[in-house]
Structure 1
Amino acid sequence: METVIGSDIDTVLDKLSRDDAFRAWVLDDPAAALASVGVAIDPRELPAIRSLPSKEVVMSARLAIKAKLASSAGAIPFFLSGKL
């Protein structure tokens, strides 16, 4: 089961790794672009000069995060049982 944060991150990373229009929107108006997928961010916290890694780098990071979350989620029953 994904958390809301995990789902938001996955959505943003998926769009950044595949959608050229979304990438351009993020560079132009990141607060609005992120709001379109349900992520609220204070525009005052954003840098004036922005850049993005390549789509391939974003996809690789997305897959690595998903793998890490999946392996961590599998350990939860052991943590809860107190038997490691």
Structure 2
Amino acid sequence: MAMNSPEDIDRLLKKLATDDAFRELMQSDPVKAMDSIGITVDPADVPDVRTLPSKESIAADQDAHREKLVGNSEMDVFKLSGLV
């Protein structure tokens, strides 16, 4: 499991909340998407089924999402859908 800095998480959440092309890449190739923002992901950590929270949800609750992700796997972003 990777340790995430708050800066890594902020960069990830900002991209997920604002960048449609990044969100599409995150759905289709999460390893490549994360690499594009300087975060290394083990392909074995990528879930087979992936659903991202809405851009609005991420933007509205960025602090709550950040708390859920710091120190956990970057791929936990796919588990945030039920947060809001």
TM-score category of the 2 structures, normalised to the smaller one: 0.5 to 0.7
RMSD between superposed Cα atoms in Å: 1.9
- Which has the greater radius of gyration? 1
Deviation at 1:64, TM superposition (A): 4.6
Q: TM-score, normalised by structure 2?
A: 0.68
- Where has structure 1 moved over 2 Å in runs of 4 or more? 63-66
Structure 2 residue matching 1:41: 3-state secondary structure: coil
Give me the whole-angstrom Cα distance separating, in 2, the residues matched to 1:47 and 1:24. Answer: 16
Unaligned stretches of 5+ in structure 1? Answer: 69-84
How many residues are matched?
64
Gaps of 5+ in 2: 68-84
Residues 13 and 58 of structure 2 are in contact (CA less than 8 Å); yes or no, is this contact kept in structure 1?
yes
Matched ranges for 1:48-67 at <5 A: 48-64=48-64
Verify the 8 A CA contact 2:31 2:40 in the aligned structure 1: yes
Percent identity of paired positions between Structure 1 and Structure 2:
41
Structure 2 residue aligned with 1:8: 8
TM-score, normalising length from structure 1?
0.68
